[in-house]
Amino acid sequence: MQNDFQISPAYLHRAAVITMASLSNSALAVAEDLRYGREIAKTQITQAPLFILGHWRSGTTLLHELLAQDHAHFQTPNTYQVVNPYTFLTTESFTTKAFPWLVPPKRPMDNMALSFTSPQEDEFAPLLMTLTSLYLGISFPRRAVHYDRYMTFRDVDRAEVEAWKAAFLLFCKKITLQNPRALLLKSPPHTARIRTILEMFPDARFVHIHRNPYDVFQSQRHFFDTAGWYTYLQKPDLAALDNAILTRHEVMYDAFYEDLSLIPKGHFHEVRFDRLESDPVAQIEQIYSALSLGGYDAFEPQLRAFTDSLKDYQKNTFAGLDAATRAVVAKRWSRSFEKGNYPI
């Protein structure tokens, strides 16, 4: 309804499948609310969540996967839960066992493993619950400017912000109902929402990961040339993608640096992707120490076993950027080069 059924003909089949799925999903959501509604309402989130911040393609997924191995400390939403926020308590056990083939074994934009049980970014849950997410601007690129507001919530009506917060808290309570461990949450848009997150979780902790901006730009280009095609409902303007990538980064970090001082001392730590990649165990240990998380010694053997399993992982490689594009990225993202101490 928001986009007046303006679906490009090439994607009508995709819209039809989504519509059909929504019918059964709506019925199951009612059943789940009847069964679990009171328990969810009574659920308290008593442990401080840890939020992973960072621009898309900066290494947030790797960091998420590493921290998620600490099963004694953290719980994190998985792929099935974030795309079925209203029904996962009822349907997850059956669906994930009966239909694992519905999820490709690897992500389309890189070689990271993917399954229903993989740690997943939570942005998709409130997106589906409120339809207020900048990710809808990927599916509906003609209205990308409208949806981009939901990255920072700066110019959004307060009622919409409160509705998003209520949906996000509901989702977090449903995850907590299953297990009271600390929530480990990762979504790049949260990088621009520190003040909103602190309104919900004043004791939240944050770890921010950054990467060479040239690599981020190239990898983000690659994302839209791969994964992007699985989400479009309107034909994208490919010529506008570079500027959209550059602008979104600028808006994200304007908000990030504006709000960074709101985080209490000892609740924020920063990681470089290249250092995490070269020595993940040492970098994770530094995170635990800086944020006073506790339990690292017991976690380390499991962490080492997981990092050993990643040794054969093949990372994407790209040809170098042309000089003109490098100059534009260097100029528009100069703050990120300077803050991260990356050579231009």
Instruction: Give the residue extent of every domain in the chain.
Output: 9-340
Q: How many CB atoms lie within 10 A of CB 178?
A: 13
pLDDT for the residue numbered 337: 96
The residue among 189, 124, 205 whose CA lies nearest residue 156 is: 189
Structure tokens at 39: 């328990």
pLDDT for the residue numbered 46: 94
User: Which amino acid is present at 220?
Assistant: Q
For residue 8, pLDDT beyond 80: no
312 or 299: which leads in pLDDT: 299
Structure tokens at 155: 């110019």
pLDDT digits (tens, 9 = 90+) for 236-249: 888 889 999 999 99
Quick one: 9-340 is in which CATH superfamily?
A: P-loop containing nucleotide triphosphate hydrolases (3.40.50.300)
Integer Cα distance of 300 and 325 in angstroms: 42
231 confidence band (pLDDT: 50, 70, 90): confident
Mean pLDDT of 108-128: 84
What average pLDDT is seen over the chain? 91
Grouping H, G, I as helix, E, B as strand and the rest as coil, residue 183 is strand
